[in-house]
Amino acid sequence: MALPGPLNRYLLLMAQEHLEFRLPEIKSLLSLFGGHFTSSQETYGKSPFWVLNIPSEDIARNLMKRTVCAKSIFELWGHGKSPEELYSSLKNYPVEKMVPFLHSDSTYKIKIHTFNKTLTQEEKVKRIDALEFLPFEGKVNLKKPQHIFSILEDYGLDPNCIPENPHNIYFGRWIADGQRELIESYSVKKRHFIGNTSMDAGLSFIMANHGKVKENDIVFDPFVGTGKASRKNQKWRGPDENIRANLRQYGLEKYYLDVLVSDASKPSWRKGTYFDAIITDPPYGIRESTRRTGSQKAVPKGIEKCPESHVPVSLSYHLSDMFFDLLNFAAETLVLGGRLVYWLPVYTPEYTEEMVPWHPCLKLISNCEQKLSSHTSRRLITMEKVKTFENRDQYSHLLSDQFLPYQGHNSFREKYFSGVTKRIAKEEKSSQE
């Protein structure tokens, strides 16, 4: 049977990449543009076809101007488990909704998209000819049509067991494509300046979308990485080796505000809510060290600030302390409704959801995993500020059930390299046998 639901249904064709990140991205963007995620589809999982109820075509178009997880969106005219069900569904679609796109002065073409199966040209033509019952009055134009219609067939996810007939067949009017091409045009490989831990372009766009970043928002990254300035007594970077130059490369320099070199473990900002979003990838202690300024000696009284020539001593900065400092900072400086988006490294065999850091001012929105190895991963955590920060909230994490479990990840570096060492030893042993 065809899917039940209202007539303003849309079909999203999703990319088969970063599967866990897709649903939070679509939900965040719909919320950003005044929509709400509703669907009669029971589960999404790994399927590339999502049927959504969206209030208007304008919201659907705005969604596609931002998403990098979706390839295309279609106004859904019909759906079925078989060709007969599809045709029946199309015949029940209101003619008055079709007419504006099928009248005699219009031009159109029909495309075929199949997932997990390739059709011959003869099979494609046969499927198009079977739609002759639709009231097409316009002319076919394969190069520059005014309207594009698509038949989309889903043959499941198993490439080793492709069924003879599709599981689902959809027909709809193409509305817009997503922004997948940005992943290539902003590729790290094409960037003037990259660091050891420069973020993949696709994941960067996903982070911004999870953070619901919009025009004129002020976004802060407390661990900006390749925007890092050189320290005193070190060789200065070249004129194109900084974050501003990277933004200039993409024509985005006008969005650059400034870079502040400071210790993220110490308060550097006046009290207030400055940021619409905080989006960051903190160091895990693998390629970038986790250090903070400080001294094990007592600071002499009367010294209020260090002279310019002073090089501060650095101390170990535990991951648990770093993440709870980050959450406190976000709770203090985000506007209400603002979002914190950050990566949390975990040792997979010991991970539980209780380990995700918690704060009374922040609500967990999503938690998506990206595998790093067989025993490690990192999780993209998205939180939203739902409560005004109070002084008593600063140490509330100490009373949280999540505080002690995540302290175990202070040894993430050791666990990461112990796994690498074991793997190398296993490979060497296998090569000797």
Q: What is the pLDDT of residue 155?
A: 97
Residue found under tokens 């097409």 = 136
Which tens digits make up the pLDDT trace of 118-130? 999 999 999 999 9
Distance between CA atoms of 121 and 213, rounded to whole angstroms? 43
Single pTM value for the model? 0.85
The mean per-residue pLDDT over the stretch 143-165 comes to 96
- What's at 92, amino acid-wise? N
Of 105-119, 157-171, 283-297, least confident by mean pLDDT is 283-297
Which tens digits make up the pLDDT trace of 252-278? 999 999 888 888 777 788 889 999 999
Distance between CA atoms of 228 and 346, rounded to whole angstroms? 25
- Burial string for 374-392 (b: 16+ CB within 10 Å, else e) reads ebbbbbbbbbbbeeebeee
- What's at 240, amino acid-wise? D
Q: What is the pLDDT of residue 227?
A: 40
- Categorize the per-residue pLDDT at 173 as very low, low, confident or very high, splitting at 50, 70 and 90: very high
The pLDDT of residue 44 is above 80:
no
Which tens digits make up the pLDDT trace of 278-308? 999 988 755 455 555 555 555 444 445 555 5
Average pLDDT of the chain?
A: 84
DSSP state at residue 345 = E
DSSP state at residue 240 = T
Q: How far is CA 220 from CA 203, 206, 231, 281, 388, in A?
A: 17, 16, 21, 11, 19
Which tens digits make up the pLDDT trace of 350-372? 888 888 988 999 999 999 999 98
Distance between CA atoms of 433 and 416, rounded to whole angstroms? 26
Are 145 and 127 within 8 A, CB to CB?
A: no
| Local structure of 375: helix, strand or coil | coil
Of 56-65, 75-84, 206-215, 369-378, least confident by mean pLDDT is 369-378
Q: How far is CA 130 from CA 127, 140, 231, in A?
A: 5, 16, 69
Q: What is the pLDDT of residue 33?
A: 95
All residues at 6 or more sequence positions from 145 whose CB lies less than 8 Å from its CB, including other chains: 107, 108, 109
Please state, for a pLDDT cut of 90, what percent of the chain lies above it: 57
The mean per-residue pLDDT over the stretch 62-74 comes to 98
Distance between CA atoms of 329 and 416, rounded to whole angstroms? 28
Distance between CA atoms of 94 and 8, rounded to whole angstroms? 11
Angle at the Cα of 272 (from 367 to 290), degrees rounded to 5?
50
